[in-house]
Structure 1
Amino acid sequence: MRNRYPKEYIKAYYDFAQQNQGITFSRSGYTGAHAYPAHWAGDERSTFDAFKRQLIAGINSGMSGVIFWGWDLAGFNGDIPTAELFMRSSSMAAFCPIMQYHAESKGEYNQDRTPWNIAERTNTPEVIEVYRFFANTRMNLLPYIYDQAVKSVTNKVPLMRAMQIDYPLENFEDCYDQFMFGESLLIAPIVTESATSRQVTFPRGTWIDFWTKEKVAGGQTIIVHAEMNQIPVYVKENSVILLNLGESKRIGESIGNDLSNYTNATLLVTATTDFNQTITDHLGNTFDLQVSKINQKVTINKEMPMDIELICL
């Protein structure tokens, strides 16, 4: 009963919250607790060592069946995070199931893990701009995140998942520092202090740099550079990513707080062959797409203003 108690405790609150379509946000549980989302990693200190552990914890949680997981970016307690830790954590959190910051309260010091407090306490004003960019990127990705969340629940796979889940035959068993965010995005955060590059191992196939649209051949490990305001992110071949972009139609620009409409709906499509895909967005729309590499054409079943960037590989 002792082991079952955390699960039953969460279930009681979850059942109550569901009366108004609410959810719980838990940091403990037992086998079966994944049925009552969401979960976070608990109270961690603001250090790079803790940051590395959170990445591993997120991957392991997914392997344990937890679909929706998050952590307090840049930590929760102890000394406030360095500007570098806050920026690196913000970049990874934008590509996790839950993005949040949180902090313990100490009456004699300002311990808030807000970007403006970290910028002031560390005398690093660019912290605010970096956080804003990744928070905006997160909102740009909301249609993709929602679609992948639906697919995760339907297919019983985590949203943040270990590489070996999608690529069981490609020797990713010991890979603990990169992951797939949904079906299409490979995320390789930098979690080492002072580092500006890291190794990224690509599964077979062709990959596209999410930021630059440069092609990368799969089946190899390469060194990738990333400054404090960057994170290595790659798009898998034969993918469709629905974005909501701002007025400039650039990733990282604000779309405002009104999520009831698209500012600029944009499809990022990568194709090595013809394929079909269905997308469900956060507004309840369902899009059936036919992608033809031969004709360099994307056909959609729904009439809606939309930009399409088709990258044929």
Structure 2
Amino acid sequence: MGVVAYVGFIVVSVVVAVGVKRFDPAIVEQLSRRTGLTGSRGWTIFLVALAWTFLPVLAGASVDDESLWVVGAAMGGVGFYLGTIALTSMDEYRIVSRAAAVPPADLSAHTGDGVVATSGVPTVADPAAAVTPISGEPAVHTDWIAQQRTRVGFREVWSNVATGVESVPFTLGDGSVVVDSGRHRVFSNAERYTTVGRDEPLPDAVAEFMQPTPDLPDPEARDSKTRFIEEYIPGDEPVTVVGEPVQSERPGQVRIEDAPPDPLFGTHTDHSRSDGDDTEPIFVRGTVDEARRLLKKRLLFGGGVGLALIVCGQMLAFWLSPASLPL
């Protein structure tokens, strides 16, 4: 019975995951951008997580409505998520920590061994366009997701409606370094939440943003709360750009282009959408030193907490159930 229930839980979870991918593509697309995982690698990690999470069932845990071991299983699931985020940051941390830190004014197409880290406050051609699409914060790169409040059974939850990326080109060091817009590998802890009630008038910026996007709710026909979450690289404070400097079209100007791909998981820009090896720069909020600390914290804290939740969650699951592993 344990083996049958164990396999059944895994199969049902896979079916649910396939349904989420089909009916909630927005969250899948955003997770793909944030982790950079290919479909095959993402499914591999997911299956490993399922096999670990449901071990108590294989060992004899009950599957009735009063099973408390699922609390430990939930902890393990969160742990696998945090661990994946940490692991998919490992190579970016290595690249940023080993790259030569060079001020924008000192950069040339022949600087260092090819990969450099440079930082500064961005300068944009049109400041009015370099803002987050909803909250209007100065930004050169924004990863946003729109959600609406919906009812599932007796509970109300946030359902994902649409997601996307807004990015603008900018320069550093009084125009000595140019960075194109694109779907870069981005690491930032800057977020903004904007919630608009069903009967509240939409701010002009929100209505203007929602109008031309077919996946977003009609601003004039909303029947529930709408929430926007924006993760962005601020445009009014230093940003670190990591990549290879090449000569720009303008004399005396350098363009930051490619950063090396991630050999651990193959996680780099658009790898989840394309089989090509087209990489783009790494963006990290803050100065070079702050960028290194941010990635180190993401790697060590996320990985440490994730591992602790995976192990402790499983121990709790076995403790809260009659399951036992043969010794």
Structure 1 length-normalised TM: 0.23
Higher normalized helix content (fraction of residues): 2
Higher RCO (CA < 8 A, seq sep 6+) = 2
Structure 2 length-normalised TM: 0.23
Larger radius of gyration: 2
